[in-house]
Structure 1
Amino acid sequence: MITLVGGTFNRFHKGHEKLLFAAYKTGNKIMVGVTSDQYAKAHKEKILSYKSRVNSVEKFMSKFTGNYEIHPLDSMFGNTLDVDEAEIVVSPETYTAAKRINEKRIAMGKKALNVVEVPFSLAEDLFPISSTRIINREITRTGKRIKTINIAISTGNNLKVAAVDEFIHTIMKNYKITVNTDYKTGSEQPFGEETMKYATDRAMYGLKDNDYSIGIESGIFYNKVNDMYYDLHYCAVIDRYSVITTGFGSGFQMPDSVIDAIKTGSSTNEYVENLFGIKKIGHSRGISGLISSDSVTRSMLIYEALRNAFIPRFRPDIYERDFLS
């Protein structure tokens, strides 16, 4: 059996390496198709010469094996319709082409190729590495961000800003956080699905020309199992491609007296200020910090919600959803 893999391989980068290495790992002889100058330039701009692109492929492949051949591609199909039995290694970007190839093979009475899909290689900003982004000097070939990653958060609470900065610093280096105060929310104390709506609205208000925009709300959720109300933080993250991911922080049971006050039109902040004389507790330790003697502060819960909202972005392929379109 042989393994087929093809592409333009322009501005050879980490994603190309991942694709070719996956082909090598099949253990078969590898046939690498590299788009010809004529075919590549008909579909893309700023293409390096065929010779230069082939040299990049050869330089990488020779580190692992000599059991490969390189052929020019003058069409999407290349030699995929000629081989009898083979595997084809594709990226999410070329997966649709593999489906078309198999449809045509089946129509010809041939066996479908076994398709091996390799996930995108993500840059520092958690968007796919691509030749276009490298050409535009947005990222390096290894995925480091050259242009600053712009992140907005819609809030008037510095506690949220600090939590965002703390988390983002663990996954990105070249970033800037902007506080957006031009937003509206429907209530100081949301309940249930209102919490998710207001957080999403905050994120939408702040997107503008940013790479990411974040909205975080805490709200009250009812649990009918034990007839108790819980405080939960909810985070919505929307990116420049209009993809939204969300996450919850840990929930904790709220005292009945607080819920009773909220149901009469008060808020958690107002209740704590009236009872304990502590102003704007939501801007500091939070009611969770007050109850737990700061074992669990509001900052921790905000951090959790944000972290969990980013989880799908690390491996979108596992979720089988088109996060990166």
Structure 2
Amino acid sequence: MISAVAGTFDVLHDGHVQLIRRAFEVGDSVVVGITSDEMASSTRRDIVPLYLRQKALEQFLSSMGKPWRVAVIDDMYGPADVMDPVDVLVVSEETVENGRKVNEYRRSRGVKPLELSVVPLVMAEDGSKISAGAILEGRYSRDGTSAAKDIAVGSLNHVKVEAVRTVMERIFGNVRITAVDVSSEVPPQPFEEQTRQGAVNRAKNALGGHEMAVGIEAGVFEKEDGLYDFQYCAVLDRDGRLTVGTGSGFMYPPEVAGYVRGGMTVGDAVKKVFGSTDIGKKQGAVGLLSGGLLDRKSLTEQSVTAAMIPRLNDSYVARDRDRFRLRLPYGRIEDKGPR
């Protein structure tokens, strides 16, 4: 028995989880359709890029314990070679009609109709159905509750926003993440100390009434053997505490470095040398140069984690150095030092 389920999966939330779990309950193997960027953008003004959505989806599916595959779909019917063998389609109460249309299409092609397995809508705390759009707006967390750590990110870049979400959920559990369009107050291509300052400025300008704000800025640094990229993250809370961290650096090819030294941004220089576009919103220059071994989101997670380290360990502020508390993820605290 093969089951299938599909969605955009902008942010994988509790509603998606219920659909996916039903698919694994009724199927021996599962096909998960994820909408292409083209399909998703036809009905939405702003979407999380496919590579981010698919990466998060596959990480979740890997824990389900049955065979699965992800198929990128450009319409509600999905690729015929993938969907024709499917026996059961899992839908929500809201998408039953789409399931019926899929069956009409299958009948017209002489393919057996699908059994439709209907999953009730999962509701948010405010009484509406859980929606990825509301989560992206920072109205509530993945499970639909507003009682969560309220964190602003000083950027509309989905790579930065989702990196912050990933790290902060590991630390705090439920979080509400709000993307705020702010100025870094540094040049479009930061050099050296402008990078740290840009991250700090983004955090300050995004904080507003939020509990915490995160600013992220990538810049270039001259080293002994070439021009390197380092990413800074600044975390500012409403009490005024600022902590800063960096991710690991990597060196740019000489030709790219030459263009950047001549006044180009990294994005423009990479486009000129490699013909790649929108690297900041996709895998990043590091993804292109590493052949996908490391992408911009993973690199950004490093800098966010580094900036949070002083907040997880009281030894950074404790006067009694023989005793401190290590703040483990989800609020657990472990005592260290002699008793």
> What amino acid is the match of 1:210?
H
1:290 pairs with one of 282, 288, 291: 288
Looking at structure 1, the residues matched to 288 and 268 of structure 2 have their Cα atoms a distance apart, in angstroms, of 14
Change (3 A) 1:259 1:320: farther
The aligned residue for residue 67 of structure 1 is none
- Distance apart, 1:179 and its partner CA: 0.7
The aligned residue for residue 200 of structure 1 is 200
Change (3 A) 1:318 1:265: closer
Q: Deviations over 1:138-169 (max 9, x none)?
A: xxxxxxx9943110001131110111111111
The aligned residue for residue 165 of structure 1 is 165
The aligned residue for residue 234 of structure 1 is 232
The aligned residue for residue 276 of structure 2 is 278
Looking at structure 2, the residues matched to 194 and 259 of structure 1 have their Cα atoms a distance apart, in angstroms, of 17
Runs of at least 5 residues in structure 1 that lack an aligned partner in the other structure: 1-144
Looking at structure 2, the residues matched to 295 and 185 of structure 1 have their Cα atoms a distance apart, in angstroms, of 32
1:268 pairs with one of 256, 263, 266: 266
- Distance apart, 1:189 and its partner CA: 1.0
Q: How many residues align?
A: 176
Secondary structure at the aligned position of 2:280 is classed as helix
Spell out the pairing of 1:131-210 with structure 2 (5 A cutoff): 147-210=147-210
Instruction: Answer with 1 or 2: which has the greater Rg.
Output: 1
Change (3 A) 1:271 1:195: same
2:248 pairs with one of 247, 250, 267: 250
- Distance apart, 1:206 and its partner CA: 0.7
Looking at structure 2, the residues matched to 294 and 272 of structure 1 have their Cα atoms a distance apart, in angstroms, of 16
Looking at structure 2, the residues matched to 298 and 182 of structure 1 have their Cα atoms a distance apart, in angstroms, of 20
> What amino acid is the match of 1:238?
L
Runs of at least 5 residues in structure 2 that lack an aligned partner in the other structure: 1-144, 321-339
Looking at structure 2, the residues matched to 321 and 261 of structure 1 have their Cα atoms a distance apart, in angstroms, of 49
- Distance apart, 1:278 and its partner CA: 1.8
Q: Deviations over 1:292-317 (max 9, x none)?
A: 11101111110000001000101123
Looking at structure 1, the residues matched to 319 and 306 of structure 2 have their Cα atoms a distance apart, in angstroms, of 17
Contact 2:226–2:252 (8 Å) recurs in 1: yes
Looking at structure 2, the residues matched to 321 and 227 of structure 1 have their Cα atoms a distance apart, in angstroms, of 41
> What amino acid is the match of 2:225?
D
> What amino acid is the match of 1:218?
A
Secondary structure at the aligned position of 1:218 is classed as strand
Looking at structure 2, the residues matched to 146 and 156 of structure 1 have their Cα atoms a distance apart, in angstroms, of 21
- Distance apart, 1:213 and its partner CA: 0.2
> What amino acid is the match of 1:267?
T
Q: Deviations over 1:110-139 (max 9, x none)?
A: xxxxxxxxxxxxxxxxxxxxxxxxxxxxxx
Secondary structure at the aligned position of 1:283 is classed as coil
- Distance apart, 1:321 and its partner CA: 7.4
Looking at structure 1, the residues matched to 311 and 266 of structure 2 have their Cα atoms a distance apart, in angstroms, of 33
- Distance apart, 1:177 and its partner CA: 0.4
> What amino acid is the match of 2:270?
V
- Distance apart, 1:253 and its partner CA: 1.2
TM-score, normalised to structure 1, is: 0.51
Looking at structure 1, the residues matched to 156 and 175 of structure 2 have their Cα atoms a distance apart, in angstroms, of 20
Q: Deviations over 1:50-93 (max 9, x none)?
A: xxxxxxxxxxxxxxxxxxxxxxxxxxxxxxxxxxxxxxxxxxxx
Looking at structure 1, the residues matched to 237 and 319 of structure 2 have their Cα atoms a distance apart, in angstroms, of 15
The aligned residue for residue 140 of structure 1 is none
Secondary structure at the aligned position of 2:293 is classed as coil
Looking at structure 1, the residues matched to 189 and 300 of structure 2 have their Cα atoms a distance apart, in angstroms, of 16
Residue identity over aligned pairs, in percent, reads 34
Looking at structure 1, the residues matched to 146 and 250 of structure 2 have their Cα atoms a distance apart, in angstroms, of 41
